[in-house]
Amino acid sequence: MSMFLDQVTIDVKAGKGGDGMVAFRREKYVPDGGPAGGDGGHGGAVILVVDEGLRTLMDFRFNRHFKAQPGENGMSKGMHGRGSEDTYVKVPQGTTVRDAETGALLGDLIENGQTLVVAKGGRGGRGNIRFASPRNPAPEIAENGEPGQERKIELELKVLADVGLVGFPSVGKSTLLSVISSARPKIGAYHFTTLVPNLGMVTTSDGRSFAAADLPGLIEGASQGVGLGTQFLRHIERTRVILHVIDMSGMEGRDPYEDYLAINHELSSYNLRLLERPQIIVANKMDMPNAEENLAKFKEQLNKEKTDEFADDIPVFPISGVTRKGIDPLLNATADLLEVTPEFPLYDEEIEEETVQYGFNPDEPEFKIDRDPDATWILSGEKIEKLFQMTNFDHDETVMRFARQLRGMGVDEALRARGAKDGDLVRIGEFEFEFVE
């Protein structure tokens, strides 16, 4: 596993609602007390919350299961069970959340403190007080708590920065970030010194500021999964301006213009839309002996191969991260460009609004009938299974209510239509009963 975790799938399970209670008032001198069973409390939800102190998803490395507590059961004397606290899970700014099974976009978490409920707690079951009516003043009916939502979600971090520093390994991206911000990334004479995107706040000489991210080096073929680059390209997606850093010294034996083309090729094969971001070419290491000559050659090639003669020239800023020459004009130009560059929409799709009640998918039939090899009828489906889970089978009256609910859903009729006979076994989950007409 990479040292840097920017994509992870986790399990979240909300708490079940507390069970409602069947109880009756038993007071001295009061012969037949009325119903007194309280409701269960609601189960805790699992909620993601953005913590600006986090930079990676590293915390999920060894901890991928998050559970909230169930609500307390209802009690006698009409006392309701207590609701459970929600479980908060911290994520860094820039975390995209998807349902791991359907791939649906659940949210994109940006602001510090922003929250997203990823597993809803079950509601508490109603106690028998709630089922009292003039016709049935002492019902032995209570509901179990609703199950908590449970699912796998995928977290993907795309760092939040206005500007992204991209280029081959060792071209001086981290050196530049350390010069323009208070970030202290590791700098080294070897390739892939940077494995974690570093973020820094940059302030220009005229007082404008922006966030810049130093990304791990990209190499040719990275977008096809060769080398390290592919997993980091996602971090460019939120940036509005790309600082394309090129080593003009030629000291690694590569041609600066070839480097430039190779990196752009990487960006486009990862996601064509990355090329829509305006670029500033940062000609780095201008303190080195051959740099001036290489830069002149580079500019010549850039002009020669310009495909659209009316397009603006791509700005080239010669600098030296080491001597700090040329930094000021570069930063001012970057801030200028940011001012005129809109945000790029990260996702074409809409965030799935879960306004529908959990567990109720209107497109899905309310139940499904199958037949086991042993001739047992199998009832399944989200709604019917939930109804089953919320039924307290300790009380005959509650069981009868369940039978009525099934009939109301058309289960009896459907079973009969499929050929079920009196005395046939019917199963829901683990529970079996006889079909009686």
Ligand X SMILES: Nc1nc2c(ncn2[C@@H]2O[C@H](COP(=O)(O)OP(=O)(O)OP(=O)(O)O)[C@@H](O)[C@H]2O)c(=O)[nH]1
Residue numbers at the binding site for Mg ion (CB under 5 A): 173-174, 193-194
Question: CB under 5 to 8 A by kind: which of Mg ion, ligand X, none does 11 bind?
Answer: none
Compare residues 173 and 234 and give the one whose CB is closer to Mg ion. Answer: 173
Q: Phi first, then psi: what are they for 369, rounded to 5°?
A: -115, 125
Q: Which of 220, 222, 175 is nearest to 194 (CA)?
A: 175
Compare residues 122 and 172 and give the one whose CB is closer to ligand X. Answer: 172
194 is in an annotated binding site: yes
| Widest pairwise Cα distance in the chain | 106
28 is in an annotated binding site: no
Please give the helix or strand (H or E) that residue 75 lies within, else none.
Answer: none
286 is in an annotated binding site: yes
Could you give the C-alpha distances from 119 to 83, 91, 359, 389, in angstroms and in order?
Answer: 15, 15, 12, 18
168 is in an annotated binding site: yes
Closest separation between CB of residue 166 and Mg ion, Å? Answer: 11
Closest separation between CB of residue 46 and ligand X, Å? Answer: 36
Compare residues 16 and 173 and give the one whose CB is closer to Mg ion. Answer: 173
Question: CB under 5 to 8 A by kind: which of ligand X, Mg ion, none does 144 bind?
Answer: none
Question: CB under 5 to 8 A by kind: which of Mg ion, ligand X, none does 321 bind?
Answer: ligand X
321 is in an annotated binding site: yes
Q: What does the buried/exposed string (b/e) look like for 405-429 if buried means 16 or more CB atoms within 10 Å of the residue's CB?
A: ebeebebbebbeeeebeeeeebbbe
Q: How many CB atoms lie within 10 A of CB 59?
A: 15
284 is in an annotated binding site: yes
169 is in an annotated binding site: yes
Q: Going by C-beta distance under 8 Å and a sequence separation of 6 or more, which residues neighbour residue 87?
A: 44, 45, 46, 47, 66, 67, 68, 69
Closest separation between CB of residue 250 and ligand X, Å? Answer: 12
195 is in an annotated binding site: yes
Compare residues 95 and 223 and give the one whose CB is closer to ligand X. Answer: 223
Residues at the contact surface with ligand X, assessed by CB under 6 A: 167, 169-175, 187-189, 191-194, 216-217, 284-285, 287-288, 320-322
Place of tokens 């959340």: 97
Question: CB under 5 to 8 A by kind: which of ligand X, Mg ion, none does 318 bind?
Answer: none
Closest separation between CB of residue 245 and ligand X, Å? Answer: 6
Compare residues 64 and 184 and give the one whose CB is closer to ligand X. Answer: 184
12 is in an annotated binding site: no
Q: Read out DSSP for 253-296?
A: S--HHHHHHHHHHHHHHH-GGGGGS-EEEEEE-TTSTTHHHHHH
Q: Going by C-beta distance under 8 Å and a sequence separation of 6 or more, which residues neighbour residue 194?
A: 173, 174, 185, 186, 214, 215, 216, 217
Compare residues 37 and 197 and give the one whose CB is closer to Mg ion. Answer: 197
Q: Going by C-beta distance under 8 Å and a sequence separation of 6 or more, which residues neighbour residue 427?
A: 372, 376, 377, 378, 379
Residues present in the chain in total: 437
Tell me if 186 sits within 8 A of 198, measured CB to CB.
Answer: no
Q: Phi first, then psi: what are they for 401, rounded to 5°?
A: -65, -40
Closest separation between CB of residue 287 and ligand X, Å? Answer: 5
Closest separation between CB of residue 193 and Mg ion, Å? Answer: 5
Closest separation between CB of residue 249 and Mg ion, Å? Answer: 16
Question: CB under 5 to 8 A by kind: which of Mg ion, ligand X, none does 171 bind?
Answer: ligand X
Compare residues 128 and 320 and give the one whose CB is closer to ligand X. Answer: 320
* Binding residue ranges for GTP: 167-174, 192-196, 214-217, 284-287, 320-322
* Binding residue ranges for Mg(2+): 174, 194
* Binding residue ranges: 167-174, 192-196, 214-217, 284-287, 320-322
